[in-house]
Amino acid sequence: MRPAGYFRWAAAGAFALTLGLSSCFTERQNEGAQLYAAHCASCHGDQGQGLERLIPGVAAADYVAQHRDELPCIVRKGLNGPLVVNGVEYNQVMPGHEDLTDSQITNLLNFLQTNWGNQNQPYTIREASDLLGRCNGSDGQ
């Protein structure tokens, strides 16, 4: 047995356990929530609350419902310039996310559209890919 084999087993054990105990760290286990935590929470807040008048919240946000068709491209390409959310004007730079696949953007937005006071229609991956096509932002995955 080569030493590399031992490492594989030890790593596999630790990994299996990480998966098993991940409920210690995350309240939700679906991909959308995890993507939100990894890519969005630092600015938009760990509960989607935003930051004062600097960064708009995404929880119970009229913008999320009213701009449903634009959100996939906003996540993909980012945003620059003023916008109004729940009656408050914001003006910050949001970076784009070329590193996410179409299906990841779908899961992320479906998490937002159905949580934290948002009760909007989720996207199918195909629909999100079509919407991403508007900004040449679909990677077809």
Partner 1 sequence: MIIRLFLRRAGLLAAGTVTGLSLLLAGCSPSSADHQQPDRLPVLGFKAAAPTSPGDTLPDPIPAFRLTDQMGQPVTNQTFAGKVYVTDFFFATCPSICPKMQSELLRVYRAFEDNPNVLFLSHTIDPAHDSIPVLRDYAERLGIQDAARWHFATAPHDTIFALARAYMTGAEVDRTVQGGFAHSGTFALVDSHRRVRGVYDGMVKEEVDRLIEELPLLLREEAAAQPTAAR
Phi and psi based region of residue 78 (left: phi greater than 0; alpha: psi -120 to 50; beta: remaining)? left
Residue 65 within binding range of partner 1, rule CB under 8 A? no
The three-class DSSP label of residue 79 is strand
Measured in degrees and rounded to the nearest 5, phi and psi for residue 94 equal: -110, 125
Q: Count of residues binding partner 1 (CB under 8 A)?
A: 30
Spatial neighbors of 32 by CB under 8 A, at least 6 apart, are 107, 108, 109, 110, 111, 112
Residue 26 within binding range of partner 1, rule CB under 8 A? no
Residue placing its CB nearer to partner 1 in the complex, 94 or 129: 94
Residue 55 within binding range of partner 1, rule CB under 8 A? yes
Residue 37 within binding range of partner 1, rule CB under 8 A? no
- Residue 3 burial (CB count, 10 A): 7
Residue 18 within binding range of partner 1, rule CB under 8 A? yes
Residue 10 within binding range of partner 1, rule CB under 8 A? yes
Residue 11 within binding range of partner 1, rule CB under 8 A? yes
Q: Which residues bind partner 1 (CB under 8 A)?
A: 1, 5-6, 9-14, 16-18, 21, 24-25, 41-43, 45, 51-55, 90-95
